[in-house]
């Protein structure tokens, strides 16, 4: 069972999604309701759990039937709708932006590629208190997630309404639940 928990999909096993900042990640569009997001994911992933709680703590975990945990987590804001999408490093789809593969990568190599890209675009690089590289201009935080004895990239992509301070673990709109995830 331990091997299944830490099993990492190969690139060939992952569906490929594109990321358009502040608009969409694969079939998910920022601003969607939970029901719209569930309909968009139909046939790709199913709802593993759904939590509706405090204003910024609504979330949905989407999973593949064969996975021991979530592939994608969608976070909602009551005024914004779908406001953030976190993609699991082990079993999530591959999300690509401008040729950069964001999911399941070695964090240090991805950070170098991401930094070089931001520099060529004249964009700002920020770091969270957990040392996660971030671009508020893209609404993208490159978090890390444990995969057994290795660590891989787990991107969190946010709507424009959440981009301000998206790197700040104490004052961002990203729910505390996400900042605590390191293993899954």
Q: Is the pLDDT of residue 26 over 90?
A: yes
Q: Is the pLDDT of residue 86 over 90?
A: yes
DSSP of 4-19, one letter per residue?
A: HHH----GGGS-EEEE
Give domain status of residue 184, yes or no.
no
Length of the chain: 184
Q: How far is CA 109 from CA 22, 87, 105, 152, in A?
A: 25, 18, 8, 10
Q: How far is CA 13 from CA 7, 59, 92, in A?
A: 12, 25, 10
Tell me what pLDDT residue 45 has: 86
Segments forming the whole domain that contains residue 172: 2-179
Q: Is the pLDDT of residue 163 over 60?
A: yes
Give domain status of residue 31, yes or no.
yes
Tokens of 167: 């790197």
**Domain tally, the chain:** 1
Backbone angles phi, psi at 72, to 5 degrees: -140, 140
Give domain status of residue 84, yes or no.
yes
Give residue-wise pLDDT tens across range 113-147. 999 999 999 999 999 999 999 999 999 999 999 98
CA distance 44 to 20: 19
Provide long-range contacts, Cβ within 8 A and 24+ apart, for 123-127: 126/167, 127/167
Q: Answer whether 59's CB lies under 8 Å from 173's CB.
A: no
The stretch 14-41 carries a mean pLDDT of 96
Tell me what pLDDT residue 51 has: 65
Check residue 39 and report its DSSP letter.
H
Give domain status of residue 144, yes or no.
yes
Closest CA to 104 of 88, 85, 86: 88
Q: Answer whether 17's CB lies under 8 Å from 23's CB.
A: no
């Amino acid at each position: 069972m331990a091997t299944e928990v830490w099993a990492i999909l190969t690139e060939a096993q992952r569906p490929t999604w594109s990321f358009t900042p502040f608009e969409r990640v694969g079939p998910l569009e920022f601003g969607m309701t939970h029901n719209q997001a569930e309909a968009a994911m139909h046939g790709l992933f199913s709802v593993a759990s759904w939590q509706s709680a405090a204003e910024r703590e609504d979330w949905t975990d989407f999973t593949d039937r064969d996975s021991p945990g979530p592939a994608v987590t969608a976070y909602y804001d009551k005024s914004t709708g779908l406001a953030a999408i976190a993609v699991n490093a082990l079993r999530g789809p591959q999300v690509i932006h401008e040729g950069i593969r964001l999911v399941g990568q070695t964090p240090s190599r991805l950070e170098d590629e991401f930094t070089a890209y931001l520099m060529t675009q004249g964009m700002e690089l920020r770091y969270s208190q957990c040392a996660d590289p971030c671009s508020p201009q893209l609404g993208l935080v490159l978090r890390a997630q444990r995969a057994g004895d290795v660590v891989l990239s787990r991107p969190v992509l946010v709507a424009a309404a959440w981009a301000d301070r998206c790197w700040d673990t104490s004052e961002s709109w990203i729910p505390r639940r996400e900042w605590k995830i390191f293993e899954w």
